[in-house]
Amino acid sequence: MATRPEQSKAQGRHLRLALFWAALGGIAAAMVMPYATAVLKLPVQDAPLPMPLLIAAQALQLGVLLVLLGWLGLRAGAPLGLDSPLARALVYRAPVAPPRPGRSLAVAALAGLVVGGLIAGAARLFAPLMPPAHHPVSLSFARWQGFLASFYGGIVEELFLRLFLMTALVWCAWKLILKAKRAPGHAVFWTAIVLAALVFAAGHLPAAARLWPLTAAVVARTIVLNLLAGIPFGFLYWRLGLEHAMLAHFWADIVLKVLLPTV
């Protein structure tokens, strides 16, 4: 299929798009702080800096990291068909490809709601197996805090796990195993999807260890809940683009942080 010149030109650029997502990621990092302090009961008064300054510093630090990782992910994903097409069209003022993405975005949002419900249900199934918590967790946070925190998962975690990590896994398989001689097949993408989800689960184990002893049930719960999210989000990124994974992740977090609060 022939592409318009504007589309081809935009697809060869990455830095401005990486800056766009890094800026939104930094804002999302600031927005998650009220939720984090409420849920983990963080002693705000013991912070080394005034809270607004601390939030700004963390957001800036994360934003700088996201510029680098975002650029690498966009550059590596270009020959693999992994991209952020809607934001790219917006940033570079190019035609949207495919046009009229409203239906696929609605499907992604619905998928996120389903994923959120499945995770909430699975967490309740694991509840009888969980050991006593040794760190207090509050679920009495304000719903607006959960709403703001949902942007962090939808933006920042997807930039780390899908745009950078999953893309890097596919790219490495393409370069090192396939020697870049042919396009990676479905098995490569599915392997990268599952591995990225497992890395996401492993990244949650330190947080789980703060709440419970790391028993087999705690580890299994962490892996299962994150696979329930990571696999569909990875599939959406692969087939429809980064924004669809972000939207699904956002709505899953709305379920877990606003509608059916779950830790």
Q: Return the pLDDT at 14.
A: 96
Q: How far apart are CA 153 and CA 169, in angstroms?
A: 21
Mean model confidence pLDDT for the chain = 91
Residue 107 pLDDT > 60: yes
Q: How far apart are CA 163 and CA 72, in angstroms?
A: 9
Is the peptide bond preceding residue 52 cis, with omega within 30 degrees of 0? no
Phi, psi of 93 (to 5 degrees): 55, 50
pTM to 2 decimals? 0.92
DSSP label at 45? Answer: G
Residue 159 pLDDT > 70: yes
17 sits in which H/E element: helix 15-31
Q: Each residue of 192-201: pLDDT tens digit?
A: 999 999 999 9
